[in-house]
Amino acid sequence: MTENSIALQCSWQSRFAHMGLVSKLHRRIRARWIFLDKILRDGLQIHAPRVLDLTLSTVLILFLAPALLALAISARAAHGQVFAKHARLGYQRRPFEQLTFAGEGKGRHLASLFNVFLGNMSFVGPLPQELAKSANAPSREAVRYSVRPGVVSLFGLRRKLGIAHAGEADIDCEFVHCHGAFGNLWILARAAVSVLIGKTDNAVVPLSFSIFGIDIRNTTMAEAVAWITERATNKQDTLVTFVNPDCLNIAYGDIDYRRILHHADAVLPDGIGIKVACRMRGIEQMENVNGTDLFPFLCERASETGLSLFLLGSHPGVADLVKREMQDRYPNLRIAGTQHGYFSAEEETRVIDRINQSGADLLLVAMGCPRQEKWLHCHQRNLNARVRIGVGGLFDFYSGRVRRAPIWMRELGLEWVWRLLQEPTRLWRRYVIGNPLFLYRNWKEIRKKTL
């Protein structure tokens, strides 16, 4: 081998060695940058909400200083003390004292600003837990103590709007997993809007209320599911319907449909429009007991009690997709049969025979209002399923055919806007004309009663 070839080989070996060192150095720098980036992100995730709380509470305390001073002086003069202290369990299960101004006057909860400033509480978080209550709490609720308790909670927001169907522990868990400064600000914004459309403290809460002469049951989701399950278990003949502003507009001019609703065993309130109508009447709707939210709870209860369902309605194949989805969620759920809603009058007898032969305890019919209620009423003597429920467009949501509005839109009472954006050609008349018409008719009925 010549001297030139040896020199050339050494040169290439030196280059490869240098490239290897550079590549190794690059990998080390990249790994350290990724590690540093993770630390920064985690730090922001942990500390940004606290920075937000400290900044906002400082600003509010300074801005509200005259009002806070007046409340303190008033509490001291009337009760001999400025603050009432309530023992609570906070972040990492540390006990703390939640402050309110002494007495029952308005503005007493503004004292919680000092808890936020001191770091005992956050503006947004799970509701503070009483010491006695937290001692017996199940282990799955421990996640709420991984963040600071809040002046405003996601559960409280949804409860105020009547959609806290999942329960406090599950909603607290949902909050913890999406906890952050931006998310907290967004919850605060929604909470501010809920003051306008949510529950009021002094409103009357009747067992039922009437709109356009139709009695609507004022109940909770849990009570409704328990009642339906009990009726099915006891083989009691039952017709359940849901009404929203569009249904009530139809009933306003459709005598046959209105008569069916009059004789239904339960008419349940669906949507923000019913809540607004109740507020106009000075009464409080307990919860938004709509069929779409009720369905999974009913399936869960049916899977536990052994009750079976038959799904009738919507486009071909949709009910089968719903069956597959719900049985994936609840493996013990018995869905005795499915049938699309596009059958002819000649096929009707065969469809009814299929339903009866299935032995289903509950029949859910998704044909839209008022067709589904009229069909159930017309064939009630021929159907063996004791509990019959008209569920509207529910199957489309659980089949994945139609995407439901994001939860934040439902919290703001804007699910109807989402539906309008999805199908403007079909739904514009229902919402753009129908919603104002419903509120006008509601106002007119209230005015007539007060004259």
pLDDT tens across 70-83, in order? 999 999 999 999 99
What pLDDT, in 10s, does the model give residues 407-440?
999 988 899 999 999 999 999 999 999 999 999 9
Single out the residue of 326, 436, 440 nearest to residue 391, CA to CA: 326
Split at pLDDT 50, 70, 90, the class of 181 is: confident
Average of pLDDT values for 31-46? 50
Average pLDDT of the chain? Answer: 88
Per-residue pLDDT at 168: 87
Identify the band that residue 40 occupies on the pLDDT scale cut at 50, 70 and 90.
very low
Between helix 181-197 and helix 272-280 the angle, nearest 10°, is 50
Q: State the average pLDDT over residues 293-297.
A: 96
231-255: per-residue pLDDT in tens?
A: 999 999 999 999 999 999 999 999 9
- Asked if residue 373 lies in contact with residue 345, where contact means CB atoms within 8 angstroms, the answer is no
CB 143 within 8 A of CB 172: yes
Half-sphere exposure (Cβ direction) of 164: Cα atoms closer than 13 Å: 20
SS3 call for 95: strand
Is residue 99 scored above 80 in pLDDT?
Answer: yes
How much of the chain, in percent, has pLDDT values that exceed 90? 68
> 139 or 273: whose pLDDT is higher?
273
User: Is the pLDDT assigned to residue 8 strictly greater than 50?
Assistant: no
Q: What is the mean pLDDT of residues 277-282?
A: 92
Of 18-22, 24-28, 154-158, which range is least confident?
18-22
pLDDT at 24 over 60: no
Q: How confident is the model at residue 141 (pLDDT cuts 50, 70, 90)?
A: confident
pLDDT at 4 over 60: no
pLDDT at site 445: 94
Higher pLDDT, 320 or 31: 320
Instruction: Give the model's confidence band at 31: pLDDT under 50 very low, under 70 low, under 90 confident, else very high.
Output: low
Residue 283 has pLDDT above 60, yes or no: yes
Place of tokens 């929604």: 190
Q: How far is CA 150 from CA 100, 137, 175, in A?
A: 14, 18, 11
Instruction: Provide the whole-model pTM.
Output: 0.83
- Whether the pLDDT of residue 404 is over 80: the answer is yes
What is residue 178's predicted lDDT score, i.e. its pLDDT? 80
Name the pLDDT band for 37 (thresholds 50, 70, 90).
very low
Nearest Cα to Cα of residue 88 among 101, 106, 100, 105: 100
Higher model confidence: residue 109 or residue 8?
Answer: 109
pLDDT of residue 130: 86
Among 184, 224, 160, 204, residue whose Cα is nearest residue 48: 184
pLDDT class of 13 with cuts at 50, 70, 90? low
Position with higher pLDDT, 14 vs 308: 308
For residue 135, the model assigns a pLDDT of 61
Q: What's residue 116's pLDDT?
A: 94
For the segment 85-102, the average pLDDT, to the nearest whole number, is 92
Give the model's confidence band at 39: pLDDT under 50 very low, under 70 low, under 90 confident, else very high.
Answer: very low
Q: Using the predicted structure, report yes or no on whether residue 9 has a pLDDT greater than 60.
A: no
Task: Give, to the nearest 10 degrees, the angle between helix 272-280 and helix 245-253.
Answer: 70
- Quote the pLDDT of residue 139: 67
Give residue 16's pLDDT band: very low, low, confident or very high (50, 70, 90).
Answer: very low
Phi, psi (rounded to 5 degrees) for 306: 85, 10
Q: List for the chain the helix, strand, coil content (%; round to 5).
A: 60, 15, 25
Q: How many CB atoms lie within 10 A of CB 197?
A: 16
Q: Please, what's the largest Cα pairwise distance for the chain?
A: 117
Least confident of 25-29, 138-142, 157-161, 181-185: 25-29
